[in-house]
Homo-oligomer: A and B are copies of this chain.
Amino acid sequence: MTSPRVVIVGGGFAGIEAARALAKYAETLAPVDIILVDRQNHHCFQPLLYQVATAALSPADIAWPIRSILNRQPNLRVIMAKVTGVDTQARIVHTDELDLPYDYLVLASGVTHAYFGHDEWESVAPGLKQLEDARHIRARFLLAFERAEIADDEALRRKLLTFVIVGGGPTGVEMAGSMAEVAKETLKSDFREIDPRMSRIVLIEAGPRILPALPENLSNYAQRALEKMGVEVLVNTKVTDCDADGVSLGDTRIDASTIVWAAGVVASPAAQWIHAEHDRAGRIMVAPDLSVPGLQNVFVAGDLASVKDQDGKPVPGIAPAAKQMGRYIGRLIAARVAGETDNKPFVYSHAGDLATVGRRAAVVKIGRFELTGFIGWLFWGIAHIYFLIGLRNRFVVAVTWLWSYLTFRRGARLISTGDNNSVVIPEGARRSRVNPRSV
């Protein structure tokens, strides 16, 4: 007799935790065959992606091969392929490479950026979900200074040195703070024709305050800290248009050659694969045991799941929530396979919220504890290093951060995207002519 087959789609926090929990509990309960499928070969530590985008860390510092993370589990196989659909009748996951029959299915394919019906903004305002996105934003960010150095037109130079971040959640706040640090400190001695410290960094939030998940006093602290670093923070401000030359905010216009999108997410198309009920963002509505209503052997974990906590508030799309769901599902499937029918519902336990604003400034709320400033920043750093996978990554990131802190330098200032055409350079900058004698 063959063991029941569990297919897990996605190697993010939820998928990895589901695989680990399932492999662990299956050992003592009943054997299973596990397949984890992802279109990338690596698990990416998304909370630090913004540091790759702003040249502080290398992609490999925050990523790890999925099969290397899970190579201790003999009952687990990792497959690199892109899922194209699911046949819930025949119980088969279709991929671009091969078909994967399943007895149990765990969907954990996550979310991507949403442009609220303006998909045409994507090419000018890239978001930050994968390593490729980070490398792309890093290239655009650094290239803007290179172009500004050789631009001969003052308006063009101002546009090249204006950076707009749309969305005041943790990603937007961390990007804005980090970009300000690069412009004001890291690059300050490297150019001759421009002064990078004159860069304009604008953070735009549609709601009344940045970091809305945190209490108001911490939002205010973060805004003041950003402003002290020279970031312009605009709240209650909606972006009405984005193009290669800047953003429109109703009647106001900001000319900018670099726009980063951190304003919203939409689920991967998993709801369509299984014809499940979903919310406006495409997140699948799940039963209390995180299964899909009507499909008892299909579970949803991580950002892809639309789940409420005990107070009826939506469970946030953060790493600890994804891990908790993954662990719950792994354990539940192991129990089911072993014939247990007890179905304790999933209960989300919120550990806290935190975001770093820049050098020596972060906001942390854990239960009733609140931390800001240097202590909050230290806590933030230690927590992130602790959750990184792999001893080497922890060590290299810790050393790199210490080095950056002491020298104000950044170690990963490479402009390289693999495909230079994908970096949008304003046409004006490409054709500008300076009088080189004027150096």
A-to-B contact residues, CB < 8 Å: 2, 5, 33, 35, 40-42, 58-61, 63-65, 67-68, 71, 77-81, 96-101, 131-132, 135-136, 142-143, 146, 149-150, 189-193, 390-393, 395-396, 399-400, 403, 407, 409, 411-419, 422, 430, 432-434, 436-437, 439
Contacts and interface: CB of A to CB of B under 8 A. Distances in A.
A79 B437 contact: no
A418 B417 contact: yes
A189 B73 CA distance: 10
B131 A414 contact: yes
A59 B416 contact: yes
Contacts of A414: 41-42, 59-60, 63, 65, 131
A150 B97 contact: yes
A416 B191 CA distance: 31
A418 B415 contact: no
Nearest to A100: B436
Contacts of A417: 418
Interface of A is mostly: mixed
Contact of A190 (B67, B131, B409, B430): B67
A413 B136 contact: no
B190 A101 contact: no
Contacts of A190: 65, 67-68, 71, 78
18 contacts: A42-B414, A58-B60, A59-B414, A60-B413, A63-B414, A67-B191, A68-B409, A79-B149, A81-B150, A97-B150, A98-B433, A98-B434, A98-B436, A135-B416, A135-B418, A390-B411, A418-B418, A418-B419
Nearest to A80: B146
Nearest to A430: B97
Contacts of A400: 392, 396
A55 to B, nearest CB: 8
B418 A150 contact: no
A411 B399 contact: no
Number of this chain's copies in the complex: 2
Contact of A40 (B64, B79, B415): B415
A392 to B, nearest CB: 5
Nearest to A67: B190
A19 to B, nearest CB: 14
A41 B81 contact: no
A361 to B, nearest CB: 23
A98 B59 contact: no
A396 B413 contact: no
A439 B33 CA distance: 8
A143 B412 CA distance: 25
A104 to B, nearest CB: 14
B415 A146 contact: no
Given A58-B61, A146-B41, A35 B413 contact: no
B413 A142 contact: no
- Interface hub of A393, A416, A417, A433 (most chain B Cβ within 10 A): A416
A399 B393 CA distance: 11
Given A77-B439, A422-B418, A436-B35, A60 B98 contact: no
